[in-house]
Structure formats: C-alpha cells, structure tokens
Amino acid sequence: MTLKNYMKLKNYDTIIIAGKEQNVKEFQVHSLILRTRSSYFRSALSANWAERNNDGHLVLKKPNISVLVFEIILKYLYCGIADFQSQKHETILELLVAVDELGIQRLINFV
C-alpha cells in the first residue's frame, strides 16, 4: 500500500499542518501510528499538549518542517520506506534536522 492509499484511510484522528507561508499542507493522519513510531509524537499528541479542533481532531502545527520533508517522514512512518536518491542534499539535511526534532532515531540512522 502506498502512502497516498494510507492517507485516504478513514478514521484519522489527527491533523498536522506542515510548512509556512505559500507552501502549507494539512495532513490527515492517525495518531496511533505516529505515537508508536516517534517519542516526540507520543508527547506532542497527548491531551496535555495537542489542541483539538471543533471536530475533535488533534491539531499540531509544524511550520518549521517543509511539506516535502514532512511527506518523506510520513512515508517512512507509515510504510517504512525512505528514498533519498531523488532528493537534493539540502532536503536531506533539512530531513535530518526534522527527524532529530521528532525523535525518529531509526530514520536518522538510515539517513
């Protein structure tokens, strides 16, 4: 199953808004997957930290992570796949900074 297929799954409970200014994207994700794969998300998606919107979804804003980098991270978290061959060096460096912040040690090691 591809990331796009996973992202179309119903019953998402979390919305993550990545990017800033002209390049912002809202991702509908499943907190169980994110919490399982990242110590950062275990804390960030807790009742003490995350906000809820009117529909009851957890909402987390990550303006410091670009849409492209967040898509790479989600593909890894959902599918266990990370392809760096087609990425620019700047993107890979930005990815390293983001996964360090998000506590995704396995992806840091993979990079």
- The 10s digit of each residue's pLDDT in 27-84 is 999 999 999 989 899 999 887 787 888 888 999 999 999 999 999 999 999 988 888 8
Q: Is the pLDDT of residue 2 over 60?
A: no
Dihedral sign, CA of 34, 64, 27, 56? Answer: positive
Rounded Cα gap, residues 60 and 56, in angstroms = 13
Residues 71 and 84: their CA atoms lie apart, in Å, by: 13
What's residue 105's pLDDT?
85
33, 54 Cβ separation under 8 angstroms: no
Domains of the chain: 3-110 (3.30.710.10)
d(CA 106, CA 49): 24
pLDDT of residue 49: 80
Which has more confidence, 9 or 51?
Answer: 51
pTM of this structure: 0.85
